[in-house]
Amino acid sequence: MALNQPMATRSSGKNRLEPGRKLSRDWPSAYTVRPLGEEKTNLKRTSLYDAHVALGGRMVEFGGWEMPMLYSGIATEHHAVRKAAGLFDISHMGEFLFDGPDALKFLNQLLTNDLSRLEPGQGQYTLLCQDNGGVIDDLYAYRLDRDRFLLVVNASRIEVDWMWFKAHRNNRHKTLQFEMADRSGDLSATALQGPKAAEIISGEFPSAVELKKNQITELDFGGTSAWVSRTGYTGEDGFELVIPNDRAVALWNQLLSLGQALDLAPAGLGARDTLRTEAGYSLYGHELTSETTPIEAALGWAVALDKRDFNGREMLAGQKQDGVSRRCVGFKMTAKSAPPREHYPIFSADGTDREIGDVTSGTQSPSLGCGIGLGYVETAHAKAGTPIEIEIRNRRFPAQVVKQPIYRKPD
């Protein structure tokens, strides 16, 4: 959930080994999208930057941040998360706090899911939409107390989201009683993910293991409050921890040390992307943009149409009732091929030989050992089991629409 630019891969889907110079450290990551004229010195660094460098992290640009793409290797870190545990720096993500008797009313007007369904200590996946249903961001909203809410938003969308909230606060909802604060600058966050995450976190936060999926609590870390939630972006059990910047390194090191005997590995954005793709999770800028709606993105479960009113409701209710012309699906390559990549065209495999959509995320799945991806196809082709074809460098390769998650752990 953290990218606003298209991947650097061009329409050919290929990077170019740039001759005549050393390959820069951020090359050839698909995350390297640098606005023209912006020097690397303008990149933001999280409180954990030095820790990443000390661990041998390969730092790349990601949505204006200098983040680790990998430490030991993407596939290695991916497998660590599936089999043991991985620790991710997600400090680039944004945190907004809303506090006051009308905070619920305000947020429920702007977000698609229904915050009134949450008890204090619970969170939910939700989306921020324009009136036309286009997605501004996807995020997690937590009800910390009855009238107090924490929103965790994508790094690349912090400014846009905040402007949106502020504009609505100042225009349409002037009289509502609540305060809002953008805490992104002074809060860090880490994600501890994998089957051994609970065992690892119990060494520092014994009560964290009592959290159920999507629950959040405030816990003490050596005199500093941290929010700990049972959430993640990998398809594994796990926790996300939000803590003030000045304690981020201590928490990171403590978790690494607790996990040392349990094969915990620091994990970078590369593994985060392969894990979330296998899990079928959307990434802003790819599956979700201002041109796509949650219904098209197959996220209707996070749209509470039974709420009285909210931004985008009319459009989304119409789409829900009348159906949509295209839909986001997961797919697997069914014969040997290069991995699918963003922007590759998708063709029908029913003999009509028509272009029916395109890939929005694609990778080699480390868990399955084949190419997998997410993409939009015409609704008639969106059913699991439907054969489709992916065009890779002017050749078509067979694939199949699959149920999500694309990778499911064997029981």
Mapping DSSP onto H, E and C, the string for 118-176 reads CCCCEEEEEEEECCCCCEEEEEEEEEEECCEEEEEECHHHHHHHHHHHHHHHHCCCCCC
Q: Which of 74, 127, 141, 198 binds other proteins (CB under 8 A)?
A: 74
**Cα first-last separation, the chain:** 27
Residues 138 and 157 sit within 8 Å (Cβ to Cβ): no
387 binds other proteins (CB under 8 A): no
Residues 194 and 83 sit within 8 Å (Cβ to Cβ): yes
Contacts with other proteins: how many residues (CB under 8 A)?
Answer: 35
Binding letters toward other proteins, positions 338-377, x by CB under 8 A? xx-x---------------------xx-x-----------
What is the C-alpha to C-alpha distance for residues 45 and 282, in angstroms, rounded to an integer?
25
Shortest reach from residue 21's CB to other proteins, in Å: 7
Residues 356 and 378 sit within 8 Å (Cβ to Cβ): yes
Residue closer to other proteins, measured from CB, 58 or 313: 58
In sequence order, which residues have a C-beta less than 8 Å from that of residue 365 and are 6 or more positions away? 274, 277, 278, 332, 371, 372, 406, 407
Nearest to 30 by CA among 362, 333, 253, 352: 362
- The interface region with other proteins, picked from 25-33, 125-133, 207-215, 293-301 by CB under 8 A, is 25-33
Shortest reach from residue 62's CB to other proteins, in Å: 12
At 374, phi and psi to the nearest 5? -125, 150
- The interface region with other proteins, picked from 9-17, 158-166, 323-331, 403-411 by CB under 8 A, is 9-17
How many CA atoms lie within 13 Å of 400's alpha carbon, on the beta-carbon side? 9
Shortest reach from residue 63's CB to other proteins, in Å: 16
Q: Are strands 224-229 and 238-244 parallel, antiparallel or unpaired?
A: antiparallel
Q: Which of 6, 73, 195, 405 binds other proteins (CB under 8 A)?
A: 73
Residue closer to other proteins, measured from CB, 14 or 172: 14
Q: Which of 11, 19, 175, 212 binds other proteins (CB under 8 A)?
A: 19
The answer, yes or no, to whether the previous bond of 28 is cis (omega within 30 of 0) is: yes
9 binds other proteins (CB under 8 A): yes
Shortest reach from residue 370's CB to other proteins, in Å: 10
174 binds other proteins (CB under 8 A): no
Q: Which of 61, 204, 273, 287 binds other proteins (CB under 8 A)?
A: 273
5 binds other proteins (CB under 8 A): no
Summarize as ranges the residues that interact with other proteins (CB under 8 A): 7-9, 13-23, 27-31, 69-70, 73-75, 270, 273-274, 337-339, 341, 363-364, 366, 393
